[in-house]
Amino acid sequence: MSAEEFRKHGRQVVDWIADYLATLESRPVRSPVRPGEVRDALPAHPPEHGEPFENVLADLDRVLLPGITHWQHPSFFAYFPANASGPAILGDLLSSGLGAQGMVWATSPACTELESLVVDWLAELLGLPERFRTDSVGGGVIQDTASSASLVALLAALRHAGGDPARRCTVYVSAETHSSLEKAARIAGLGTHQVRAVGVDSRTLAMDPVELADLMAADVEAGAVPAMVCATIGTTSTTAIDPVARIGEVCRAYGVWLHVDAAYAGVSAICPELRWINDGVAEYADSYVTNPHKWLLTNFDCSVLWLADRTPLIEALSILPEYLRNAASASGEVIDYRDWQIPLGRRFRALKLWSVIRWYGAEGLREHIRKDVALAGEFAGLAAADRRFEVRADHPFGLVCFRPVWPDLSTEDANTATLALLERLNASGALYLSHTKVGENVLLRMAIGAPGTERRHVHDAWEAIRAEVDVATTHPR
Amino acid sequence: MSAEEFRKHGRQVVDWIADYLATLESRPVRSPVRPGEVRDALPAHPPEHGEPFENVLADLDRVLLPGITHWQHPSFFAYFPANASGPAILGDLLSSGLGAQGMVWATSPACTELESLVVDWLAELLGLPERFRTDSVGGGVIQDTASSASLVALLAALRHAGGDPARRCTVYVSAETHSSLEKAARIAGLGTHQVRAVGVDSRTLAMDPVELADLMAADVEAGAVPAMVCATIGTTSTTAIDPVARIGEVCRAYGVWLHVDAAYAGVSAICPELRWINDGVAEYADSYVTNPHKWLLTNFDCSVLWLADRTPLIEALSILPEYLRNAASASGEVIDYRDWQIPLGRRFRALKLWSVIRWYGAEGLREHIRKDVALAGEFAGLAAADRRFEVRADHPFGLVCFRPVWPDLSTEDANTATLALLERLNASGALYLSHTKVGENVLLRMAIGAPGTERRHVHDAWEAIRAEVDVATTHPR
């Protein structure tokens, strides 16, 4: 495709996206397709001859769009948001257009230097400690996801714990910790028995630091080597917050690496009134991850990992073949981010985060977070005021967990009724919620954070939920 | 950013990229900046207030571009290509614009279904075996890089070998195998002593299958559990090709997983005359990886991994928290690609590969590969015809390895002279080469594959290299 053809088709695609964003609200949030429906509508074999680009756009409209669940839809309230924005999309487009590889500093210095700057900017915006800055002994790096970030944090922690005796190392999480930590431990070759699930407070669902200390003491007594504790700020299920400072004290007593998973909630510390969520991080955290691609208007993938000391990470991951040797790396004056991650190759992801921070400014980003927190509070108020619903008390971010109480049903039947209600709501296409389980109860999750969500979308969602419960209680199925 | 602002700035960015591509040739290929130069030219602190998008573009021109090494430049001959193309960039832009998350089928069915279709298309185009198809027991998946793909292949192989006794497992590579395999083994918790470097043929640099069999027999005798062999089709250093069929026979005798790393060269099998490179793959390979983001005009990241049996991979990587449970996954009718990779979240990468295959067609993609292979042959001919140069005999792809012979210098001094020559060439900005080491000798690597490279760029490169050698031999430094 020539530069001029690119100009022509590029404008078509930009217009397509602008139209998509402008009309998004009219589409069903969750795709209604059945398994196989999208694939069956496309040619089974690849084309022998090239086709006009217009054919791609036509099939996008005809076949793919019905198969898309619209994560940017203002009534998308499922999972956590994966919100995007114009400046993020355009920053990413610039990255694609440049097509540069930032695996080491020398292969495109601007990729590395803009990344180190922008993660320092973000650390400053979130009030994270100075030692996380790239101009210190620590530093930040953009990963694809918090799963990968937590894996490399674990590898650094294992190295810190002595490297070789990984088979005796233990890792501490809670039942509320994201499943990626268990996955990371499995990938790193740790057995299931080496991952300890610390108990949580039954009300707050926060990790119990006393039980952590007891478990760790017993493990050390038994000859194990505690390597890492993962504390979560904003769990995936309910946005529970582990007591980082108290966990950190336990870690410090045993010289254990403290990793903080703030994948969803961490970015909210851009608001001074939410900075308390990071209590203990400055004093105790060895690594910290948050995802601008969840709630900070930066399109997937963009997860930022900071380390208080980059050395064990680089020791764990660096291998230097001849064809990557170069004067800049040998000088020690530069960062080679390939040693901070699983893959070798690197996309220039910093461009999109830079573009987002510049377009919105700190002020604009705070406004976005505050709007969602306020809407979540408003939704929780509506649900709490209705005696047919039960709302979880703590919802400091954009997520509200709640359930219809179904007074006449057993726990099991109530859960079935809640899930059936959820399915009817989602099948309507008007909104999209997800669910979780706390104790014995299935709860609905209303996660507010799509870029276009306004007050009316939240109120419409509440009306739809209430109406469905009305129908279900009047005409039980 | 509103939809209309996006339309406006989107056009600016498209124009910027079109202009960049049209004028790329006038820029120095390798960035001349010094460490810190880019970062120092940008504000140390993030902006409090939002800025016009034009400021981003202005800083891109003023600060970032001088710090970019232009991988799409027609005279970029270093490493391997990471070539991009218009349809790939636009496919990726559509993915950003949709902002959908394909972690499981249910979160956006089209993401999964287009991916499974397009990897089947690519398998067909490359003549890969039927059992690699997603409608069989195997299947293909798009990963970020071959590093990650080889890691998940290793995890599947460890599972296949019995899972738990990973500490007794051994993995077989050669000294020419990509460093990502050693990195993968390290990540998976295998010790250095569990990774065996099989010897290579001193001329072809291909793995010696007899030595492999001997090593494996001795390991089994000693109580180890051979888990995986990695055969490479087109090594990073010199594009050497391991004898897959003979290695496969050894693997079969011991029930060991055969992973084939064809990261760079694999896509060339789209040309029937190069399909011989995959001899043995259909009979023996358990997994196979190739990167459309290297030499198939698809911008980074897009690495395709196929498996002959997806079960051990899913067993190795699947964990199901409550909040991801859904009817489609429970039905077993759909693929949930999150279980095929390290991260949980997934970008809709299939769009760009689909867009590339449709725009160029099989025919257009073959033409691209054939052009580069022909230019490499032409370059090798020029160098071989000049008695001051020595050229490695085998160059079936786009890479030619060669060196000035420096008749009066010791090996060490010759290597120093070659590296100094390389630095002068690269510092000129007119072209960009990289190097490797074979035996005792430093060789230059001329990798042809940038999208805009034409005959004249290759001839100009040869003239520049020859002229530098002229100067160096006339006025030795």
CA distance A317 to A308: 17
- Report percent pLDDT > 90 for chain A: 92
Query: Does any CB of chain B come closer than 8 Å to the CB of residue A87?
Result: yes
Mutate to test the interface with A, among B14, B143, B347, B422 (most CBs of A within 10 A): B14
- Report percent pLDDT > 70 for chain B: 98
Structure tokens at A236: 């995936």
CA distance B236 to B232: 9
Q: What are the domain boundaries of chain A?
A: 100-347, 357-474
Query: Does any CB of chain B come closer than 8 Å to the CB of residue A312?
Result: no
A151 vs B333: CB contact, 8 Å cut-off?
Answer: no
Q: Average pLDDT for residues A196-214, to the nearest whole number?
A: 97
Question: Of A1, A48, A301, which is closest to B86 when you measure between CB atoms?
Answer: A1
pLDDT at B163 over 80: no
The number of beta carbons lying within 10 Å of the beta carbon of residue B467 is 11
* Amino acid letter, residue B90: L
Asked if A55 and B358 count as a contact pair (C-beta separation under 8 A), the reply is: yes
CA distance B39 to B42: 5
Q: Average pLDDT for residues B179-193, to the nearest whole number?
A: 93
B9 vs A79: CB contact, 8 Å cut-off?
Answer: no
**Segment (H or E) for B143:** strand B139-143
Q: Average pLDDT for residues B264-291, to the nearest whole number?
A: 98
**Segment (H or E) for A198:** strand A195-198
Reported as a single tens digit per residue, the pLDDT across A427-466 is 999 999 999 999 999 999 999 999 999 999 999 999 999 9
Of A2, A93, A101, the C-alpha closest to B21 is: A2
Q: What number of C-beta contacts closer than 8 Å exist between A and B?
A: 453
pLDDT at B33 over 70: yes
CA distance A353 to A371: 20
Identify the bridge partners of residue A198 per DSSP, sorted by sequence position. A174
Query: Does any CB of chain B come closer than 8 Å to the CB of residue A64?
Result: yes
Query: Does any CB of chain B come closer than 8 Å to the CB of residue A99?
Result: yes
pLDDT at B165 over 80: no
Least confident of B130-144, B277-291, B369-383: B130-144
Per-residue CA distances from B93 to A15, A17, A168 (Å): 12, 9, 46
For the whole model, what pTM was predicted? Answer: 0.97
Asked if B299 and B89 count as a contact pair (C-beta separation under 8 A), the reply is: yes
Asked if B24 and B70 count as a contact pair (C-beta separation under 8 A), the reply is: yes
* Amino acid letter, residue A309: D
Under DSSP, is residue B88 helix (H, G, I), strand (E, B) or coil? helix
* CB within 8 Å of A172: residues ≥ 6 apart: A196, A198, A212, A215, A216, A226, A228, A229, A230, A256
CA distance A189 to B166: 7
| pLDDT tier for residue A319 given thresholds of 50, 70 and 90 | confident
Phi, psi values for residue A111, rounded to 5°: -60, -45
State the Cα angle at A177 between A175 and A183, rounded to 5°.
Answer: 100
- Over chain A, what is the mean pLDDT? 95
Q: Residues A432, A356, A14, B3: is their CA dihedral positive or negative?
A: positive
Q: Average pLDDT for residues B209-224, to the nearest whole number?
A: 97
The DSSP secondary structure of A119-180, one letter per residue, reads HHHHHHHHT--GGGSTTSSSEEEEES-HHHHHHHHHHHHHHHTTSGGGGGEEEEEETTS-HH
Asked if B288 and B257 count as a contact pair (C-beta separation under 8 A), the reply is: no
Structure tokens at B238: 């010199």
Phi, psi values for residue B288, rounded to 5°: -150, 130
Structure tokens at A73: 């839809």
Strands B225-232 and B287-290: unpaired
Per-residue CA distances from A185 to A105, A217, B172, B421 (Å): 30, 21, 24, 47
What was the pLDDT predicted at A471?
87
Asked if A258 and A288 count as a contact pair (C-beta separation under 8 A), the reply is: no
Structure tokens at B438: 């074979």
Reported as a single tens digit per residue, the pLDDT across A5-26 is 999 999 999 999 999 999 999 9
Query: Does any CB of chain B come closer than 8 Å to the CB of residue A175?
Result: no
Asked if A303 and A291 count as a contact pair (C-beta separation under 8 A), the reply is: yes
Per-residue CA distances from A16 to A20, A36, A55, B10, B55 (Å): 6, 26, 13, 11, 25
pLDDT at B332 over 90: no
Q: Average pLDDT for residues B170-197, to the nearest whole number?
A: 94
Under DSSP, is residue B288 helix (H, G, I), strand (E, B) or coil? strand
Residues of A in contact with B236 (CB under 8 A): 321, 323
List alpha helices for B109-267, DSSP H. Answer: 109-125, 146-160, 179-187, 209-221, 244-254
The DSSP secondary-structure symbol of B64 reads I
- Report percent pLDDT > 90 for chain B: 92
- Over chain B, what is the mean pLDDT? 95
Q: Average pLDDT for residues B422-443, to the nearest whole number?
A: 97
Q: Which residue, chain included where needed, has tokens 């009306």?
A: A463
Query: Does any CB of chain A come closer than 8 Å to the CB of residue B467?
Result: no
Q: Which residue, chain included where needed, has tokens 């800083």?
A: B59
Q: Average pLDDT for residues B410-421, to the nearest whole number?
A: 97
Q: Residues A60, A62, A67, A73: is their CA dihedral positive or negative?
A: positive
Residues of B in contact with A358 (CB under 8 A): 47, 50-51, 55-56
Which residues 116-135 of chain A have a CB within 8 Å of chain B? 116-117, 121-122, 124-125
Measured in Å, how far apart are chain B's first and last C-alpha atoms? 58
CB-based burial, B387-417: b 16+ in 10 Å, e otherwise: eebbbbebbbbbbbbbbbbbeeeeeeebbeb
Q: Which residue, chain included where needed, has tokens 């290579």?
A: B200
Reported as a single tens digit per residue, the pLDDT across B63-106 is 999 999 999 999 999 999 999 999 999 999 999 999 999 999 99
Asked if A310 and A138 count as a contact pair (C-beta separation under 8 A), the reply is: yes
What was the pLDDT predicted at B164?
61
Residues of A in contact with B205 (CB under 8 A): none
| pLDDT tier for residue B333 given thresholds of 50, 70 and 90 | confident
Distance from the A221 Cα atom to the nearest Cα atom in chain B, whole angstroms = 24
Asked if B409 and B420 count as a contact pair (C-beta separation under 8 A), the reply is: no
Q: Which residue, chain included where needed, has tokens 């460490």?
A: B35
CA distance A459 to A217: 50
pLDDT at B476 over 60: no
CA distance B239 to B232: 9
Asked if A447 and A79 count as a contact pair (C-beta separation under 8 A), the reply is: yes
| pLDDT tier for residue A164 given thresholds of 50, 70 and 90 | low
Query: Does any CB of chain B come closer than 8 Å to the CB of residue A436?
Result: yes
Of A10, A347, A356, the C-alpha closest to B94 is: A10
Phi, psi values for residue A426, rounded to 5°: -65, -35
B109 vs A179: CB contact, 8 Å cut-off?
Answer: no
List alpha helices for B393-444, DSSP H. Answer: 411-427
Of A418, A468, A471, the C-alpha closest to A440 is: A418
Per-residue CA distances from B321 to A71, B141, B272 (Å): 20, 22, 46
Of A114, A236, A277, the C-alpha closest to B103 is: A236
Which residues 253-282 of chain B have a CB within 8 Å of chain A? none
Under DSSP, is residue A5 helix (H, G, I), strand (E, B) or coil? helix
Q: Average pLDDT for residues B133-158, to the nearest whole number?
A: 95
* Cis amide prior to A219 (ω within 30 degrees): no
Distance from the B357 Cα atom to the nearest Cα atom in chain A, whole angstroms = 7
* Arch. (CATH architecture) of B100-347: 3-Layer(aba) Sandwich (3.40)
* CB within 8 Å of B412: residues ≥ 6 apart: none
Reported as a single tens digit per residue, the pLDDT across A66-114 is 999 999 999 999 999 999 999 999 999 999 999 999 999 999 999 999 9
Question: How many residues are there in chain A?
Answer: 477
A117 vs B354: CB contact, 8 Å cut-off?
Answer: no
| pLDDT tier for residue A321 given thresholds of 50, 70 and 90 | confident
Reported as a single tens digit per residue, the pLDDT across A206-265 is 999 999 999 999 999 999 999 999 999 999 999 999 999 999 999 999 999 999 999 999
Question: Of B35, B293, B317, which is closest to A183 when you measure between CB atoms?
Answer: B317
Query: Does any CB of chain B come closer than 8 Å to the CB of residue A168?
Result: no
- CATH code, B357-474: 3.90.1150.10
Strands A434-438 and A441-447: antiparallel
| pLDDT tier for residue A476 given thresholds of 50, 70 and 90 | low
Structure tokens at A84: 């995007």
pLDDT at A323 over 90: no
Least confident of B164-168, B343-347, B362-366: B164-168
